[in-house]
A and B are shown apart, each in its own frame.
Chain A
Amino acid sequence: MENAKAARNKKIRHAIMIIVLTILFIAFIFPFIMVVINVFKVKADITAAPLALIGKHGFTLENFPNAIEKMNFFRSFGNSLFITIFATIGTIILSSMTAYLIVRNNWKANKILFVLMIASMVIPFQVLMIPLVSLYGGVFGILNHRLTLIFMHIGFSLSMATFMFHGSIHTNVPISLEEAATIDGCNKFQIFAQIVFPILKPTIATVAIIDAMAFWNDYLLPSLVLGRKELYTIPIATKVFYGTYSTDTGLIMAALLLAMLPILLLYIFLQKYIVEGITAGAVK
């Protein structure tokens, strides 16, 4: 009796939760639905009835080629990809090596570096942007290079990544394994590259996901570093495009969809790893 009642209550509770979640979920994807239904309409139909599934003038694909050409989509896509990939790889290699050095050697220099890195995490980007432009633009004159942006992306993400690798090496890498390798004649770098680094795979995945997303989507830093049109990343290209064509709603819809598409497609395939990676990164 009691058990049957409890089971029924549980069923009702679950049904209510699924209904609430479904409503919330629809609210969450509503903006995306709006873009998707309007991207296939002509401008007049979007203005007249933005909520209609199909406009009076019917279905159109012409917004896409126009937007692709005018925002120079493939160029900015290439720039974003190049910058994201190299900045992510750089961050992972440098921060994991640094974290390894800090965990295994109780030196004063290591402690100072680690404390500085942790403390720097509270510095807002706004405090550094003016001196960065002044130094790298005015003094060194090396703005407007993709490599400069990669260098800065790495610099800003090193602290957090080192902190995450530090925790992971501390708890997951058994020191006995390294001692055995030392006896076998491995030097420190070989130990790190062949034994420690492979054990860190889950943390590497988490750091790669968080940083790659941040690099891909960042606007403020890239907009300060890359002022030349042919160097634009997708967020800068979107911003500039919106500024020029803001009244041409059909084109804007296509540009916004194009800007979102690469990462959404990637998410469909890597969704499981991304969700797991972020969740794993949260547990400490």
Chain B
Amino acid sequence: MKTNTLSYKIKQYLIFAGLTTFIFASVVLVPFVYGLYLTFTSWDGVSLSKPFVGIENYVNAFADTSYWQSLGRTFIYSAIAVILVNAVAFIIAYMVTSGIKGQNFFRAGFFVPNLIGGIVLGYVWKFVFNKALVELAETITSGHAKSLLATETGAIAALIIVSVWQYAGYMMLIYVAGFMSVSEDVIEAAKIDGCTGSQSIFYISIPLMTASFVQCLFLTITRCFMVYDVNLSLTNGDPYGSSALAAMHVYNQAFINKNYGTGQAEALILFVICAIIGGIQVYVGKKGEVQA
């Protein structure tokens, strides 16, 4: 059988990747390009006509102060959440790989929040913040207590707490894999050379685990930056829209205010920001990689 003719190649491609190409194109590629087109139209979500309006949607997006406010909040929320998620995950991963009793139990236990979807988690925590923790605070101080969700800063703080709780277990498993990939021999050799425990973490384990850090940072940054489910169920933007993050703003702009063109333009600005962050990360990650 000839394996270098064009017809052979086409046949093989269609058998192995034909359906993949079709689905990937119809769900990701075509909508992406079509989305670019939508940003130049004013579509109301119902009619078949999509009047061309030039760059009006981008002008609207840049003039939309509540969009930029939500974006600012998203930056603050993401920065704090990403740092805390990774710090907590790394510390737990260190402890559950140090050979203590019951480490498999802990690994499995800390992962549990990841099993549950953001909508359900948000409602569970809403109850915890509004009822259980208020009751707890009132018992301790024997006075009147207010829910964390009642103030603007409190609502963002609550979102951060829930995100740390939700993602730490998943990132922990990636760091556990990282710790396990650092060979015992290297650590042993360092100890013989007089390295203390903390020195071996900072100078040996962490540099050798660059891949884990890159992976965890990528996952947490993209997830935090695009968070929607927990935002919707935990705060729904309250109080008075002050805790609406960027993804929620885009959704509301399009599907609630029916400004599909402006919503799509705002989503596209988000994409550009994401792509820049992703690019920086890949670059820094490649540069920092250490070979054992």
Q: Which residues of A line the B interface, CB within 8 A?
A: 13-14, 17-18, 20-21, 24-25, 28-32, 34-35, 38, 46-47, 49-51, 94-95, 97-98, 100-102, 105, 107, 109-110, 113, 116-117, 120, 122-135, 138, 151-152, 154-156, 158-159, 162, 188-189, 192, 213, 216-220, 234-235, 238-239, 242, 249, 252-253, 256, 259-260, 263-264, 267, 271-272, 274-275, 278-280, 282-284
**A253-B127, A282-B212 in contact; A131/B173 too (CB < 8 A)?**
no
Instruction: Give me the 10 closest cross-chain CB pairs, A-B, nearest first.
Output: A155-B27, A217-B117, A101-B16, A282-B177, A131-B31, A131-B35, A282-B174, A50-B131, A98-B20, A131-B34
Q: Are A264 and B165 in contact (CB under 8 A)?
A: no
Q: List 16 A-B contacts (CB under 8 A).
A: A24-B110, A25-B109, A126-B228, A126-B270, A127-B32, A133-B255, A154-B23, A155-B24, A155-B28, A156-B27, A162-B20, A219-B228, A252-B127, A267-B112, A271-B108, A280-B177
Q: Which residue from A128, A138, A152, A272 sits with its C-beta under 8 Å from B32?
A: A128
Known interface pairs A156-B28, A189-B15, A282-B212; A260-B38 also in contact (CB < 8 Å): no
Interface of chain B: mostly helix, strand, loop or mixed: helix
Q: Which residue of B lies closest to A271 (CB)?
A: B108
Asked if B12 contacts A101 (CB within 8 A), the reply is: yes
Within 8 A of A (CB), among B1-44: 9, 12-13, 15-17, 19-21, 23-24, 26-32, 34-35, 38, 43
**Contacts A110-B17, A130-B38, A130-B267 known; A274 to B111 CB distance under 8 Å?**
yes
A interface SS class: helix
Distance between A158 CB and nearest chain B CB, rounded to angstroms: 5
B211-267 residues with Cβ-Cβ distance < 8 A to A are 211-212, 215, 222, 225-226, 228-229, 232-233, 247, 250-251, 254-255, 260, 263-264, 267
Minimum distance in angstroms from A175 CB to a CB of chain B: 14
Once bound together, how far apart are the Cα atoms of A97 and B28, in whole Å?
19
CB distance from B161 to the nearest CB of A (A): 10
Contacts of A154 in B (CB 8 A): 23, 27
Contacts of A132 in B (CB 8 A): 27, 31
Is B76 in the interface zone, CB < 8 Å from A?
Answer: no
Cα of A238 to Cα of B109 in the assembled complex, Å? 24
- Whether B128 and A155, one on each chain, are in contact in the complex, defined by CB atoms closer than 8 angstroms, is no
Q: Which residues does chain A contribute within 8 Å of B24, judged by CB atoms?
A: 113, 116-117, 120, 155, 158-159
Given contacts A130-B263, A275-B108, contact A256 B250 (CB under 8 A): no
A47–B132 Cα distance when bound, in Å, is 9
Other 5 A-B pairs with CB < 8 A, given A51-B136, A219-B228: A128-B31, A131-B34, A159-B28, A234-B117, A235-B117
Q: A25-B110, A123-B28, A279-B176 are in contact. Are A130 and B16 (CB under 8 A)?
A: no
With A109-B13, A127-B268, A159-B24 in contact, is A216–B128 under 8 Å at CB?
no
Interface residues of B in 108-157 (CB under 8 A from A): 108-121, 123-125, 127-128, 131-132, 135-136, 139
- List chain B positions with a Cβ less than 8 A from chain A: 9, 12-13, 15-17, 19-21, 23-24, 26-32, 34-35, 38, 43, 45, 48, 92, 95-96, 98-102, 104, 106-121, 123-125, 127-128, 131-132, 135-136, 139, 165, 169-170, 173-174, 176-178, 180-181, 211-212, 215, 222, 225-226, 228-229, 232-233, 247, 250-251, 254-255, 260, 263-264, 267-268, 270-271, 274-275, 278
Contact B123 A242 (CB under 8 A): yes
Query: Bound complex: CA of A143 vs CA of B254, how far in Å?
Result: 18
- Which residues of chain A are near B176, meaning CB under 8 Å? 279
Instruction: Kindly report which residue of chain B lies nearest to residue A192, judged by CB atoms.
Output: B16
Closest Cβ–Cβ distance, residue A192 to chain B (whole Å): 8
Inter-chain contacts of B233 with A (CB < 8 A): 239, 242
- In the complex, are the beta carbons of B9 and A155 less than 8 A apart? no
Nearest CB in chain A: distance from B241 CB, A: 18
B23, B48, B96, B251, most chain A CB atoms within 10 A = B23
User: Given contacts A34-B132, A271-B108, are A188 and B274 in contact (CB under 8 A)?
Assistant: no
Task: State the Cβ distance, A128 to closest chain B Cβ, in Å.
Answer: 5
